[in-house]
Amino acid sequence: MTDRAREIATRVEAFVRDVVAPYERDPRCGAHGPSDDLVVELRGKARAAGVLTPHILSDGEHLHHREVALVLQASGLSPLGPVAVNVAAPDEGNMYLLGKVASPEQRARFLDPLVSGEARSAFFMTEPASEGGAGSDPSMMQTTARRDGNHWVIDGRKAFITGAEGAKVGIVMAKADEGASMFLVDLPDAYEQGAIRIERVLDTIDSSMPGGHAVVAIEGLRVTADQMLGNPGDGFKLAQIRLAPARLTHCMRWLGSCVRANEIATDYACRRHAFGKPLVDHEGVGFMLAENLIDLKQAELMIDWCAGVLDTGALGTVESSMAKVAVSEALMRIADRCVQVMGGAGVTGDTIVEQVFREIRAFRIYDGPTEVHKWSLAKKVKRDWKAAQEGA
């Protein structure tokens, strides 16, 4: 690990613990995430502390993935931390994609406001399951894009669009004649014109992301040709550039949250007495905390391994699937044990343990459910076996 990553992570951790954590009971933290005025306030404090968008350096250089792991874990020590320091989903993944593939003009218009923390973004890919739209299988995409002179016209419906409410930058996936394609959208204009309409914000189990998760209608959305990312039909290829690192950064942030939840559960178990001794001295409790340490370390090492693969320049599709399954399942075990150790206190909002449990439960589905990743890995097992037979 580099000295610069350690130094940045140390500053981020201090900021999240000392400045951000006291906001966790702020009434502006609602069922659909922190309000935009709270986001602005927190980002103002992060900017003043020199920890805003810490994974992108002042010269535009992006930290290596293994360095990012250390910094984003520190940000995740509070559910509000990633939002405060501007490394939250979907913004972090969208910044990464735009930094890789956007033109200079696109970067100035759409990326710079995200890096500065002045704008939020949304990634419009998932579609309503009730209409047979794309979910874990993006090939089922029904949203269409057709050429009209120097413009593209987009129509369709999207679901579970994180942060759509209040976002200024949109990346919309739609199916053109050439195949799936990505388009950059100025959302305030699209909302004002009625070309994108938020039908409702879903009531979901998680509550850490500003704007929540929305169902969105897209009707007659016109974008100029220079707002397309890459070329027509590049959508799935570009999605792969974004998705593997984004899966892993989810793991990084939620690992930080589980580290904090485990700290809270440990403190509770050491202070609370029952049957003549501290809870931690009862094997049923102490062993759960011991198992947490094991799962935390295994999750950390899995993240580091996958980040190392990404740092070679590989897409890391297989490795990120393995990491997403292993880490999300380990973190679920940790969060569940923390609730169990704390008993009644663990299911209240008096600490973040209850929220972390909810967030991790959702994480097991977001960015691909465990079962979809296992299915994909099983297909690789079969492919590798067939290749070995043919080469024998």
Query: Could you read off the pLDDT tens digit of each residue along the chain, which spans 392 residues?
Result: 899 999 999 999 999 999 999 999 999 999 999 999 999 999 999 999 999 999 999 888 999 999 999 999 999 999 999 999 999 999 999 999 999 999 999 999 999 999 999 999 999 999 998 888 877 788 889 999 999 999 999 999 999 999 999 999 999 999 999 999 999 999 999 999 999 999 999 999 999 999 999 999 999 999 999 999 999 999 999 998 888 899 999 999 999 999 999 999 999 999 999 999 999 999 999 999 999 999 999 999 999 999 999 999 998 999 999 999 999 999 999 999 999 999 999 999 999 999 999 999 999 999 889 999 999 999 999 999 999 998 87
Instruction: Strands of 225-335 (E only): list them.
Output: 228-229, 273-274, 277-278
User: Of 216, 231, 246, which residue is a domain's last?
Assistant: 231
* Residue in 189, 206, 255 with CA at minimum distance from that of residue 34: 206
Clarify whether residues 64 and 198 are in a common domain: no
Clarify whether residues 335 and 380 are in a common domain: yes
The answer to whether 121 and 114 have CB atoms below 8 angstroms apart is: yes
Judge whether 104 lies within some domain.
no
The two tokens of residue 346 are 């663990």
Cα 272 to Cα 203, 291, 336, 338, 342: the distances in Å are 35, 20, 19, 14, 9
User: Of 231, 256, 287, which residue is a domain's last?
Assistant: 231
- Looking at the structure of the chain, the number of domains it has is 3
Clarify whether residues 199 and 291 are in a common domain: no
Judge whether 313 lies within some domain.
yes
C-alpha–C-alpha distance, residues 53 and 87, integer Å: 6
Clarify whether residues 178 and 159 are in a common domain: yes
Clarify whether residues 173 and 302 are in a common domain: no
Judge whether 100 lies within some domain.
no
Residue span of the structural domain in which 140 resides = 121-231
Judge whether 53 lies within some domain.
yes
Clarify whether residues 268 and 363 are in a common domain: yes
The answer to whether 89 and 246 have CB atoms below 8 angstroms apart is: yes
Strand partners, 155: 144
The two tokens of residue 322 are 């393995």
